[in-house]
Structure 1
Amino acid sequence: AGFPPPGPAITCILSLTLKQSLMLSSPLLLFANRRDVRLVDGEGVQGESAIVVSELEDAAAVDFLFDESLIFWTDVSEEAIKQTHWNQSSNSVVVSGLNSPDGLACDWLGKKLYWTDSETNRIEVANLDGTSRKVLVWMDLDQPRAIALNPGQRYMYWTDWGEEPRIERAGMDGSSRKVIVNKNIHWPNGLTIDLVEEKLYWADAKLSFIHRANLDGSAREAVVEGTLTHPFALTLSKETLYWTDWQTRSIHACNKHSGDKTREILSGIYSPMDIQVLEPYRQPYIQTPCSNDNGGCSHLCLLSPLQPFYSCACPTGVQLKADGKTCKPGAEQVLLLARRTDLRRISLDLPDFTDIVLQVHDIRHAIAIDYDPVEGFVYWTDDEVRAIRRSYIDGSNATILVNMDINHPDGIAVDWVARNLYWTDTGTDRIEVTRLNGTSRKILISEDLEEPRAIVLDPVNG
């Protein structure tokens, strides 16, 4: 209890906590608590936690970039990844349009965010500001949850608690994917890497244990067995493991080698989720192939376990040019999809066929959609707003073209040669045409139409 109100008080408590922890030489623990993100002293001396960010919906996963004083978290209700500086009280959205972002990891060397989504069953990566977002893994994922990075060796690790529970690893560019643990595993929730001793630790909530193994899954051994109730997330400082437990609603700790010296760090937590040791030694600096000039890549430079130890990558749906470094300007073949309350585009250039939501607001009942390849506008009908609208293919510059005397706009078709737009209206039972900019509107057919729906043009042959 006795939590400070949000605002300047937080900054004060934080700097205090930071100072005290440096003096006490005990690590700071950063954890998500659904309604907020908090810090607590790793030795549990103070017995209470400080709020970093308050008034959140559903904060689940958390990570940080120590060098830049950045804290990141996923919000499952807001379907976004957000960030704050730990000396500021404001926060901002980094990546939006997610479904269920359960796991999050910051690549402190390549300055990237990696995350799992258990609803889309994908692992994605983006720059720290959310740009150049790319799907890395999309096949054979069932319920991906925790994700941990080892950028020094250029591998990422994740847990999957689906039908066939397992821990997998792959290069941080998605290459060399391999299952490393798939026996004696049920609900692998927490996952963390001991960078110094090169060990992987994980917590299993169903089998109530914490195990560890080499980074390739070999030499597996038990650390804590049988005494855990529902371990969720796991992190580690020099010699100590820390984990959150859903049933005890506490943060617990033990010795990372022997599993003894078990103790409770903080109890009575509202809903403890992900946890990280917020210390610079968890993010040691190493020169990487991406450190200089972004590896020569136009967009994403991703670390790889294979020679030359990095690969250039492009935003989802965009192909890499033959030089292996530069991305094409955009997707060349695109499928457009109207889905009642949103519009999506799917690149057909790449095998993952990931759908990207166009960032257009106030779509209530989109029905038909078409595209003008000349100016790059997408056109669609909205039956509830009773309008024809258009925007660029990225969702920007959205405008209403026609909204007068429209009842139930249905089919739509772009004449990209003569620069006209045709549509059907099942309310007025008409087919109409206008210039692509919305001027010179004309009724083409109003007789003998009962429920005119789909419409298609062949402009080349008129």
Structure 2
Amino acid sequence: METLRLTVIAIILSIGYCQSDKECISGASYLYTGKRSLTKLGHTCQRWDTGFPHKVKKIPQDGGDHNYCRNPDRDPRGTWCYTTDPAVRWEYCDLPKCESKVLVVWAGYNAKQNSSIFDHAKADPEYSSQNNVPAGGMHVEVHKNSIFKAVETDEKGEKIFFTDLKDNYFGIMDVKSSAIERHLQGKVGDIHSIAQDYVTKNFYWTDCKTKSVWVADKDFKAQFPIYNTEPYKPQAIAVLQKHRKLVFSTYVRKDSKVFDTQIIMTDLAGKDAKVLFRYPDVIEVTGLAADDERIYWTDYLGYASKILSCRFDGSDKTEHYFQKSSELRDIAVHEDYIYVSDSQKRYNYFDYIRYHVQILRKGTNQIFTFSRPDLPHGIAILADKSSPERTLESNICEKTCGGICLPNQKGFKCVCSPGYKLQPKTGKCVPNIVNDEYLLALDDASGEVYQIPLSSKGEFSVVHFGKTNHISTMTTDVSTGTVYMYDSDTSDFKMGRVRFALLNKDAKPLGSSVTGKVKDIKLDPVTKDIFYVNENNDIAFMNRYGKNKKVIVENKETNSDVKALAVDSKQKMIYWTDTMGEQGSGKVIRCRFDGSGKQVVLDNLNLPYGIDIDYERNKLYVMDSKDGSIYEIPLMKLIAPVPLKKYKRNDLMDYLYSEKYFLTKLKVHRGFAYISDERKLHLLRYKLGATGPKALVNFGPSVFFKASSLSVYSRSFTRKYIKRLPNPCLRKKCKSSCLALSKKKASCI
């Protein structure tokens, strides 16, 4: 990704005036208290408290018992005065604004180019107005194939925090070096807004997909949902630095319309919640910000937008600005100004699309507008926002905490990421690994593996296989619990043990790389041979050590799209689903372990994805992702091609019809079908053949962004159904690898 080089160090100069070769005003010009009394053209200023020679309509806030330059009406062009020349009523003074390096920064998204930039402008509109500074004023570079959304900056003006919904990560950009750190890879979901606590350096964000407010430590070693907003979706968020509170907004839609909204305040641990406002006092709160005195927000009404504020207890609700035909979204505040992004599409004289970023001076109706071709996302102030006048409490979280230290009324609380537990003696966060009866689920979006006990009521653990980059697919040896995985970043196969996860042992490379992507991988539990499908939709083989790789079925279909594999170790057959690139043309195909005897088993399926073999019932299960169907086909009676009407069909539509779904992976075990749904954050568990409201239920935690592999480990199941299966390779003495062809026959390769 190309990066933006911001070559500015932002500083805030204190209110007053500075004297160099030429006097200039630092800060808001209406606060100027100097003694300049001459205009730009040399006219002497008239006293403000007299009416001669001109009638005075504006009086400065210091009373005006003098003839010094002032700005009582907050004119963006700066200070002025009435003159003593009867022919010249008033004139601007020769008091320019000192150049400020404070910037307002936002992300601009170009949908046609699918790119984002960090756009910016001088935060002081007076300086821009007086010096004709073009909006921005600095060169920016385009970040291709990215959608930057939430934007925030640190207290010192040295970092820009943002989310990229395209590459799915949380970014931290160093302003000086332009270096970008990536965090939460694959876990961004739909983050709308982010904020940072300047004391602990913890990050807070709202995620509409998980319907939670999250927090992470400054190094992103741990992240934790501190507030669940169900059934509402969280939207805007801000940290009240001085008051050590968190404020965020939530909303819920019905028939595409917002019918309930809240502004909620909690402590920094997400506790002691208090609703400050709710619908209809607020309609849709899209942005939140705060200074040391007030909370500010944007409220979208559907046909217009408002900017409002209140005190920290919710009192003194004040409307600052109302604009029709606008869609004010994000908001920031700094000193005398309020900054908002407007996502309302507009057209100029040349019919080009334009969007606005607006600056409102507090206490006035003065609006300064920057017009841009890119849709603005997020807005923040890049400056040193620390102040000697504002003393924040000391960081009580500097004490040892292996997870995230959350300040609360009692002091602080140490919490771990979901999937970990806190060890009281060491203060470290460790996974709670179990040794038997569990489901392993791989989240392809984040590359993490989750262990879920089959008796789970929501508990789970994160399984780490040491230094792996990004696991995209995996399979489990049901006899030993060994996990075989494919690392898409290094194109390598690796193996690891779940029980070694607590020791953080690295997964062992199999010394075998594959050119291109591996879409699915399955293991024969008897011979330990591994079968996988590559990006060319070929079915390939290798032994458990990653050697003797061989394509056993070369796919010559141009529109082929193989989704999943299943291994029948009893009959020595491989099955796979192929959507053939379109709905209504899907197939299930099978062949022997050596690739011979290829034939179509099922044809003209809608969109087949998941497939599995159940050794307990000796059945083949095929799941159609769009129909919401799971077909049961006895393997002993399977004669290709199979007429679907002849076999049992588990119809999940009665449980899925009211929601959007896209069923992908399937694992059948002990009468239950475990299903991944890419439209949900959790797995599903369906009791095969059952009916009623409890037939299909959520299973495990709500942490999945894209569950791509499911496998089960059960010692009792293995002893009863797997160890009894024949292994013809035991009699075959092969120098390299052995392929089982039937119950009694095998071949060396």
Equivalence for 1:43: 124
Q: CA deviation at 1:58?
A: 1.4
Give the 5 Å matches for 1:277-316. 277-281=381-385, 285-290=391-396, 294-304=398-408, 306-308=409-411, 310-316=412-418
**Does the CA-based 8 Å contact 1:190-1:203 persist in structure 2?**
yes
Alpha-carbon separation, structure 1, partners of 2:189 and 2:428: 27
Task: Report the 3-state secondary structure (helix = DSSP H, G, I; strand = E; otherwise coil) of the residue aligned with 1:134.
Answer: strand
> Hey, what's the Cα distance between the residues in 2 that align with 1:371 and 1:448?
18
Q: 1:217 corresponds to which residue?
A: 314
Gap change, CA 1:78 and 1:403, over 3 Å in 2:
closer
The answer for the alignment partner of 2:153 in structure 1 is 64
Give how far 1:401 is off: 7.7
Structure 2: distance between partners of 1:330 and 1:25:
50
Query: CA distance change for structure 1 residues 24 and 73 in 2, over 3 Å: closer, same or farther?
Result: same
In 2: Cα distance, 1:227 partner to 1:408 partner: 53
Residue from 272, 275, 280 that aligns with 2:376: 272
Structure 2 gap segments, 5+ residues each = 14-23, 28-97, 110-115, 254-259, 347-354, 534-541, 548-567, 576-612, 616-713, 724-749
1: CA distance, partners of 2:480 / 2:317: 56
Question: 1:297 and 1:373, CA in 2 relative to 1: closer, same or farther beyond 3 A?
Answer: farther
The residue that corresponds to 1:329 in the other structure is 430
Q: Which amino acid aligns with 2:470?
A: H
Matched residue pairs, number? Answer: 426
Offset of 1:300 from its aligned partner? 1.8
What is the SS of the residue equivalent to 1:312? strand
Residues 58-97 of structure 1 mapped to structure 2, 5 A cutoff:
58-67=147-156, 69-97=158-186
**8 A Cα contact 2:298 2:305, kept in partner:** yes
**TM-score normalised by the chain length of structure 1:** 0.75
Q: 1:357 to 1:242 in 2, by over 3 A?
A: farther
Change (3 A) 1:213 1:357: farther
Aligned residue type for 2:300: A
Note the 1:22-421 alignment, pairs <5 A. 23-24=98-99, 27-34=102-109, 35-44=116-125, 45=128, 46-50=133-137, 54-56=141-143, 57-67=146-156, 69-97=158-186, 98-140=188-230, 142-163=232-253, 164-184=260-280, 185-195=282-292, 197=293, 199-206=294-301, 208-227=305-324, 229-247=326-344, 249-256=355-362, 258=363, 260-281=364-385, 285-290=391-396, 294-304=398-408, 306-308=409-411, 310-322=412-424, 326-333=427-434, 335-338=439-442, 344-346=448-450, 360-361=469-470, 363=472, 366=473, 368-369=475-476, 378-380=483-485, 389-391=494-496, 397=507, 399-400=509-510, 410=522
- Given that 2:246 and 2:265 are in contact with CA atoms closer than 8 Å, whether structure 1 keeps it comes out as yes
Give, in whole Å, the separation in 2 of the partners of 1:398 and 1:112. 35
- In the alignment, residue 231 of structure 1 is paired with which amino acid? L
Could you report, residue by residue, the CA deviation over 1:414-461 in whole angstroms, capped at 9, with x for unpaired residues?
Answer: xxxxxx98568699xxxx996xx679xxxxx97745569356544789
SS at match of 1:137: strand
Of residues 229-238 and 36-45 in structure 1, the stretch that sits farther from structure 2 once superposed is: 36-45
Q: Distance in 1 between matches of 2:123 and 2:178?
A: 23
CA deviation profile, 1:53-90 (whole Å, cap 9, x unmatched):
63222111111223371221111212111122211233
Structure 1 unaligned runs (5+)?
414-419, 440-444
Deviation at 1:267, TM superposition (A): 1.7
Q: What percentage of residue pairs aligned between the two structures are identical?
A: 17
Change (3 A) 1:171 1:400: farther
What does the per-residue CA deviation read over 1:245-267, in whole Å, with 9 as the maximum and x for residues that have no partner?
A: 112622212233x3x23212422
Q: Partners of 2:118 and 2:529 in 1: how far apart?
A: 50
Which has more radius of gyration? 2
Residue 229 of structure 1 deviates from its aligned partner by 1.0
State the superposition RMSD in angstroms.
4.6
User: Alignment partner of 2:399: what SS?
Assistant: helix
Q: Which deviates more from structure 2 when the two are superposed, residues 148-157 or residues 388-397? A: 388-397
Q: Is the 8 A contact 1:411 1:454 kept in 2?
A: no
Q: Could you tell me how far apart the structure 1 residues matched to 2:531 and 2:4 are?
A: 53
Cα displacement (A) at 1:7 = 6.9
Secondary structure of 2:226's aligned partner: strand
TM-score of the superposed pair, with normalisation by structure 2:
0.48
Q: 2:135 is matched by which residue type in structure 1? A: E
For the 8 Å contact 1:252–1:262, the answer to whether it is kept is no
Q: CA offset at residue 236 of structure 1?
A: 0.9
Between stretches 237-246 and 334-343, larger displacement belongs to 334-343
Q: Which amino acid aligns with 1:221?
A: T
* Secondary structure at the counterpart of residue 281 of structure 1: coil
Most deviating of 295-304 and 446-455: 446-455
SS of alignment partner, residue 36 of structure 1: strand
Query: Are the counterparts in 1 of residues 11 and 383 from structure 2 also a CA contact under 8 Å?
Result: no
CA distance in 2, matches of 1:16, 1:26: 5
CA distance in 1 between partners of 2:267 and 2:574 (Å): 54
CA contact (8 A) 2:331 2:378 kept: yes
